[in-house]
Amino acid sequence: MTKANNVEILLIKSNDEYFAVTSKCAHLGLGLKGGKVNSEEKTITCPWHDSQFCLKTGETKQWVTMSGIKKYLLFLIPKKTPLNTTTFDVKIEDNHLWLKPI
């Protein structure tokens, strides 16, 4: 994790590819750190309510799901329209990592 312009950014390496996304889920701002990364689909799944985002574009692939104890908690949380997350182009040059918002 790193910070740029007061925004926390989650850096992810998956199958020799680097990705960078804002560290907070677009639903309620809970942390994506610890979320499941799918290397084949290039997605990250929020560990709090299973929203899934494309690591390249930030596009919402799956919005809030209701499973297990999370189902109970979601009734206490306001529902929102699906939102995309912010992603960054990642460039590695001379052992430095450069990020550019997409």
Domain boundaries, the chain: 2-101
SS3 69: helix
**Sequence-separated (6 or more) residues with CB below 8 Å from residue 86:** 7, 21, 22, 58, 101, 102
Residue that wins the pLDDT comparison between 42 and 67: 42
Residue 29 pLDDT: 84
Q: Is the pLDDT confidence value at 24 over 60?
A: yes
Tokens read off for 61:
């692939």
Distance of CA 1 to the CA centre of its chain: 12
Q: Give the chain's mean pLDDT.
A: 85
Q: Given CA atoms 65, 68, 70, 75 in this order, what sign does their dihedral have?
A: positive
Token pair 């699906």 is found at 82
User: What is the CATH T-level fold of the domain 2-101, as seen in this structure?
Assistant: Rieske Iron-sulfur Protein (2.102.10)
